[in-house]
Chains A and B, each alone.
Chain A
Amino acid sequence: MSLPVFLARAMHALCREAFAEINMSLTIPSPAVNRRALLGGLAAMAGSGPVFAQPRGEQLLVVMWGAQWIEVCRPIGEEWMRASGDRIQWELHAGGAMAVVGRLRPLWPRVPQNLIAAWDPVFAAMMEAGWMEPVSEAEMPALRDIPEPFFKKNAQGQKMTVPLSTAGAFWGYRTDLVTGPPIESIEQLLEPRFRGKLCVPVPVNLSGLLLVSLAMQRGGNERNIEPGWAFLKELAQRGQIGRVVANNSEMINAMSAGDLSVAFWNTGGWQAVRNRFPCRLLTRLTDNKGFLFNEGFAVMKGENPARVAAAKRFANHFATAEINTRYNRSLGSGPTNIHSQAAPEIADIFYTPAELERFAYIPDYAHMSSQVDAWTRRWETEITPLVRRG
């Protein structure tokens, strides 16, 4: 290590230590956090030297979505830190989970992240890149209580994901803003009363499920997406699309502002809006389907086996019945552990086994993630100009 870098690091560590002191007086005392700061500083000063005491337990870097996700995860993380001695550092997805894949690609295999919260399309991309650790019931006993179909498996049949939620993406609207007949089919979205009222995601978000939904309305699916483009263009040309959003925060803000009334988004975002305004999610359309997917953790491959083991233990904790119930309750999603209780509010959204066949659809997410680039290109060239015109 060269001198300037060492000096910078030393300064960094000393300042960090000083700041930890100030921090302690300003915050609710959380021993784990401040110990981390102090020890982190000392460790930084020593570089990778073994002279200064290595902290008890492992340090894990976990990537999680913001909004309600991080709000429910932080306390769970803090309890875990006290119980196990591991230290959990949270990193937030800035937009869609796929973005973290783009960010890690140039850095692989030197990625510090140990657990990444993701959903089916991103799992597919990460599996294809070979980044994930296989998981087994021997190492993670809570997995025994999760039904087989929820797991994503690799070519060798090994389980690769830790599914924590069943969630969905649906069309929905604010019932306090929509007057006249209720919406029973998305064909109605072409009506003049919805001019400028639609809030839709870019293809990067939700891996393009919007397009698939529109395609299915007109007889297509994720592999035959052309009818979806035609429908989308119709909506754009008529000026129905009022806002294009790129992340959770923007969707929640847009739907809370009051000038948009209809949106297509995932249950997490809808939950935040439903907490404040009356909404109806179109989960049982007669001429279309709702989309289902799993969210959960991907355990990243790492050089430090102790850390990988600690990551698996932490992920396992989320899969236990009690934590799984707690985790999903504020997200408006369904738990994956069969012993967990689903929140009563989501009863209207989720399907009985009989309804699954009629109303739900699980598209080929792997295929969709390979199309996102082309779809984004098409969105930029054909849709954005139409939306601008309003």
Chain B
Amino acid sequence: MDAAVGDGDHTARPAGVMPRLAIWLVTPGLLLLALLMGGPVLLLALESLKPYVPGSVRPGEGITFAHYRELLQPAYLFYFWETFRIGLIVASLSILFGAPLAFAAVRSPSALVRKFLLALLVGLLVMSLIARLYAIEMAWGSNGPLAPLGALLGIAPRHPRYAEVQVGIGLLHFTLPVVALMLVGAFRALSPRLEEAAASLGATRSDAMISVVLPLAAPGIVSAFLVALAMCISNFVAPLVLGRGVVVFTTSLMYTRFADIGNYPSGAAIGITMLILAFLVVYGLSALARRLIPR
């Protein structure tokens, strides 16, 4: 950090100090989060330990871990796995398709192409996800015009498992614009001179991409991947609308318990478990990325 000319008191501050202004700045936000997220989630955690009494207004007395133990059954482990599996696949696909899209939106020589792509991405953000999901149901469903394309993935559109394909497509539609826009920001920060320099040294375009652009954009790509993953695993409407009762995310399980049956402790247990798993996966992956990709 450059030291400005002037008083030593104001400028040379040792690292690790929290000045008073900063405290004032972060406190409202922290307070809000503590009150509106921390508190409720804690309450939910307490709720998850209470026994459930079918058909009754109040939960039972005492503490039980039954709701958590229940989640160890293979079927539920499978639902957790399914949620993360589809999330990881969709997140990867959104990077795979989002990166070229973002790159074209930033580097394409034609201004019209750039504007069109950006308009498409920003416009999609505003379009209701639910509307798009029903449109996907129509387009890719067993009666839809794109069903044969979906069948290419090896599952017949009439088969119950086809719902996986549809949910995946729905989620991809949800994450792709966001990921592409985040990558637009990442690519924009890279000067085109770097690629030109690589070209002048004799590298092909692909070479330049792989050895120059991607490593520099890597932190942005990792960040986008993690955001996409978080969006997928906490998404609620895609399995609801497209899941056909067969693709069950943990969010669907929670919703059924909270809204349809009224078994709050069980729903709370799933929610808390999902929270912890999500944190672990995301922070684990980002720590891994930080180790592999030197900043």
Contacts and interface: CB of A to CB of B under 8 A. Distances in A.
Interface of A: 95-96, 98-99, 101-103, 105, 108, 125, 128-129, 196, 202, 204, 241-246, 257-259, 369-374, 376-377, 380-382, 384-385, 387-390
Given A257-B142, A258-B143, 9 more contacts: A102-B262, A108-B57, A196-B159, A242-B160, A257-B143, A373-B52, A384-B75, A388-B161, A390-B160
B160 A241 contact: yes
A384 B246 contact: yes
A374 B158 contact: no
B103 interface: no
A369 B159 CA distance: 31
B73 interface: yes
Chain A binding surface, main DSSP class: helix
Contacts of A257: 141-143
Question: 10 closest Cβ contacts across the A-B interface?
Answer: A244-B245, A381-B75, A102-B262, A370-B55, A204-B260, A370-B54, A390-B159, A390-B160, A99-B260, A373-B261
A245 B258 CA distance: 19
A96 B261 CA distance: 10
B71 to A, nearest CB: 11
Contacts of A246: 245
Given A373-B52, A387-B160, A387-B246, A102 B75 contact: no
Given A99-B259, A387-B246, A369 B75 contact: no
A245 B246 CA distance: 10
B245 A384 contact: yes
A105 to B, nearest CB: 6
A372 B261 contact: yes
Chain B binding surface, main DSSP class: loop
B256 A376 contact: yes
A128 B55 contact: yes
B268 to A, nearest CB: 12
A186 B246 CA distance: 23
Given A99-B260, A381-B76, A259 B158 contact: yes
Contact of A204 (B158, B246, B261): B261
A242 B158 contact: yes
B55 A102 contact: no
Contacts of B74: 381
Interface string B257-290: 0111111000000000000000000000000000
12 contacts: A95-B260, A204-B260, A244-B244, A244-B245, A370-B55, A371-B54, A372-B261, A377-B70, A380-B76, A384-B75, A387-B246, A388-B160
Contacts of A243: 160, 244-245
Nearest to B52: A373
Interface in B153-171: 158-161
A241 B56 CA distance: 33
A103 B259 contact: yes
B55 A369 contact: yes
A148 B56 CA distance: 28
Interface in B237-255: 244-246, 248, 253
A88 to B, nearest CB: 25
A244 B260 contact: no
A103 B259 CA distance: 6
Interface in B163-192: none
B78 interface: yes
Interface string B130-168: 000000000001110000000000000011110000000
A376 B56 CA distance: 17
A102 B54 contact: no
Given A129-B57, A196-B158, A243-B160, A380 B259 contact: no
A176 to B, nearest CB: 16
A390 B248 contact: no
Contact of A202 (B78, B160, B245, B262): B245
Given A204-B256, A242-B160, A385 B261 contact: no
Contact of B260 (A96, A108, A242, A390): A96
B205 to A, nearest CB: 44
Contacts of A387: 160, 245-246
Contacts of A129: 56-57
A373 B54 contact: yes
A383 B295 CA distance: 49
Given A102-B259, A243-B245, A246-B245, A380 B253 contact: yes
Interface in B56-83: 56-57, 70, 73-76, 78-79
A196 B162 CA distance: 13
B79 to A, nearest CB: 8
A97 to B, nearest CB: 10
Contacts of A259: 142-143, 158
A390 B246 CA distance: 10
